[in-house]
Amino acid sequence: TGTDLAPVLAGARVMPVLTVPSAATAGPLADALAAGGARCAEVTFRTSDAEQVLKEMAAHGGLAVGAGTVLTPEQVDRAVAAGARFVVSPGFDEAVVAKCRDLGVPVVPGIATATELMRALKAGLDTVKFFPAEPLGGIPMLRALAAPFPRARFVPTGGIGAPRLPAYLAAPAVLAVGGSWMATADHLRRGDYEEIRRLTAEAVHGSAT
Ligand code: 3PG
């Protein structure tokens, strides 16, 4: 699995990572992201409303919505039941990957070392999340890690904001860049969907250059 997700990520270039406290914000949030030009989004399983948020954002139709922070096979079941188009994990877990394979849902495991990347490749997964990208050493680390593995494609995430985005996108092995800066808990608390739209548009359109 993962094979049909790579073109989606490559077309999207930017993956907003969302931690949404209340499902009440799911509709306007999906509208704002779509209006900003986002094509996909990751809803993290870090809030009690995450499944409902995922369900409502998936129903919006304008975005390929996946589940993030998926740590267990049981969460994979719940994510898929809620309509997740893909599953993202901060690390590489065999049971999570196996469950995704059983259910036919693409999975993007997190990797931070060559050993973890080799495990993912061995499991047939070419698309991985490089996490947490900035604390791990950012672009120089990503380039060095990618060099021996021409097949691997990366979604760096973690500590990346608008200023660092273009440099990540310019790295050949990078499929898309993930991050929460486009839609933060703070934006949602303030109901600042215009700012979410603006930051998303800046990320998506900036990435075209
Ligand atoms: C994730 O779950 O992928 C990260 O929390 C996103 O990282 P960021 O908040 O540093 O962008």
Residue 142 belongs to domain with CATH number: 3.20.20.70
State pLDDT tens for residues 55-75: 999 999 889 999 999 999 999
Q: Which of 102, 97, 159 has the alpha carbon at shortest distance from 128?
A: 97
**Residue 100 and residue 108: Cα distance in Å, rounded?**
10
Name the helix (H) or strand (E) containing 205. Answer: helix 193-206
**Residue 116 and residue 208: Cα distance in Å, rounded?**
31
Number of domains the chain is built from: 1
**Residue 201 and residue 37: Cα distance in Å, rounded?**
6
Residue 69 near ligand 1, beta carbon < 6 Å:
yes
Active-site option among 42, 51, 56, 134:
42
pLDDT above 70 covers what percent of the chain? 97
Establish whether 42 is a catalytic residue.
Answer: yes
Locate tokens 């999340």: which residue?
Answer: 129
Residue nearest to atom 8 of ligand 1 (CA): 158
- Ligand 1 centre to CA of 179 (Å) is 5
Counting ligand 1 atoms within 8 A of each CB, the residue from 180, 188, 200 with the most, and so the one to mutate, is 180
In whole angstroms, how far apart are CA 148 and each of 30, 115, 117, 143?
Answer: 38, 12, 11, 10
State pLDDT tens for residues 96-107: 999 999 999 999
* Pairing label, strands 40-44, 64-68: parallel
- Is the ipTM, as predicted for this complex, more than 0.85? yes
How are strands ordered across the β-sheet holding 110-111?
110-111, 127-130, 153-156
Q: Supply the range of the domain harboring residue 108.
A: 5-206
Residue nearest to atom 4 of ligand 1 (CA): 158
Query: Quick one: DSSP state of residue 23?
Result: G
Name the helix (H) or strand (E) containing 138. Answer: helix 138-146
* Cα 50 versus chain centre, distance: 15
pTM of the model: 0.95
Establish whether 99 is a catalytic residue.
Answer: no
Of ligand 1's listed atoms, the one at least distance from the Cα of 181 is 11
